[in-house]
Amino acid sequence: MNENRRFDTRAVHAGERHGRPDRTPDGGGDFYPISTPIYASTTFSHPDVQTTDRVLGGEEPGYSYARYDNPTVRAFESAVGALEGLRGEARAFAFGSGMAATHAALAAAELADGATALAAEQLYGSTATLLVQVFGANGVETRFFDAYDLGEVEKKVAESKPRAVMVETISNPLLRVADVAGLAEITRAFGAALIVDNTFGTPYLQRPLDLGADIVVHSATKYLSGHGDITAGVVVAKPPYDAAVESIRKLVGGVLGPFEAWLAHRGLKTLPLRMERQCKNAREIAARLSGHPRVSKVNHPSLEDHPDRKTAGRVLSDTGGLVSFELAVEPGRGREAAFGFLNALDLCVKAPSLGDVYTLAIHPATSSHRELSPSRRERLGVGENLIRLSVGIEHPDDVMDDLEQALDRF
């Protein structure tokens, strides 16, 4: 794919085999599929065993076994890589879920007995649990840090000498914005791998590899596929981490299935259109919620009082499609009020995900951050009265009408 073509064009065409012929099974002639087919085959044969030997040995490109690779999966990976701005030997790898992708990315950074990982305090709850429980059981120490204070970051990295540093482009659910370029400068100086979860950002808002990150992770379940119909994950890695990710995926068998890859690739083609509308809708809804008497606080990078507004202007191309806000309630009524508000919604879908074409609303304290202790949630600012919205592509007036009627009823 021509790297000079604009993002919107790459989203439509990347990964496809336009102009490359297939051949009819009866040998009747060439034909040209404009969409990569679903290759639902567990194994692939070759003209001779010598070719099979070379493919299995990595001496010749090709496909042999579905746990290793698949043409439909590779098409989706190529498309994501083109959007993330891959250069040289770096490659994208598709997994069966975002958490499987995150696990592989952390393992590729050689997190093993005696190693230390640094993780942003503002991190998806399951990622924090993965580090503490799964990697912790294997002798890895995880230390949490304030990713938005570069002075503290440098001090923590110098003290702990971590193998990996994990942050999110935009944090969940308070929507803090990391200075990835500044973080990369620090981690590079100390030889640590910088892993960036770009699920909330997507390549539309930011390409972390261009800012110095070593590994990028996506839950492709969210914005990349965008329609709430598949579960998938992607790791995009530079050398030497790309080889480790590929080896881990082959051995553990976390590769994405061909049908899911086909759906994800199809969804990816409309990413620029969806993100443009979602970002615009989120800005409008955040501004209108800020003036509502039953809302005490709104989090969105477009707002004047957002702590990372200037950082967002430097590192993001737009302000994102997520909004979170706190209901104005007396102490002790947070969960009751949040549940009452959510149950009063009619248009917005009450579901624990994000990045879909429809607006989704959740209660982070009992969904994304459920696994964290109440004290840690409180320290992170994830209160019982906090609501997170993943704004969809509906008309913003209809979404706002629904939010307002629910705010009047909780």
Choosing from 124, 148, 204, 241, the catalytic residue is 124
**Which backbone phi and psi does 193 adopt, to 5 degrees?**
-80, 130
Q: How many CB atoms lie within 10 A of CB 7?
A: 16
- Residue 131, helix vs strand vs coil: helix
Question: Whole-angstrom Cα distance, residue 144 to residue 165?
Answer: 10
Burial 68-97 (b: 16+ CB within 10 A, else e): bbbbbbbbbbbbbbbbbbbeeebbbbbbbb
Q: What is the DSSP string of 6-52?
A: -HHHHHHHTT--TT--EE-TTS--EE--SS------SB---SSHHHH
Q: Is 358 a catalytic residue?
A: no
Question: Whole-angstrom Cα distance, residue 178 to residue 124?
Answer: 14
Q: Edge to edge, what strands does the sheet with 141-145 contain?
A: 91-95, 233-237, 215-219, 193-197, 164-168, 116-120, 141-145
Choosing from 10, 222, 274, 277, the catalytic residue is 222
- Helix segments in 88-137, DSSP class H: 98-108, 125-129
Cis preceding-peptide flag for 240 (omega within 30 of 0): yes
Q: How many CB atoms lie within 10 A of CB 317?
A: 16
Q: Is 251 exposed, middle or buried (0-12, 13-18, 19+ CB in 10 A)?
A: exposed
Q: Is 305 a catalytic residue?
A: no
**Whether 322 contacts 389, CB under 8 Å:** yes
Q: What is the DSSP string of 215-246?
A: EEEEETTTTTT-SS----EEEEE-TTHHHHHH
Q: Is 402 a catalytic residue?
A: no
In one-letter notation, the amino acid at residue 192 is A
Q: Is 124 a catalytic residue?
A: yes
Choosing from 54, 67, 250, 335, the catalytic residue is 67
Cα angle 74, 221, 147 (rounded to 5 degrees) comes to 105
Choosing from 69, 179, 197, 214, the catalytic residue is 197
Can you list the positions of beta strands (E) in 141-285? 141-145, 164-168, 193-197, 215-219, 233-237
**Whether 389 contacts 348, CB under 8 Å:** yes
Where in the sequence numbering do the catalytic residues fall?
Answer: 67, 124, 197, 222
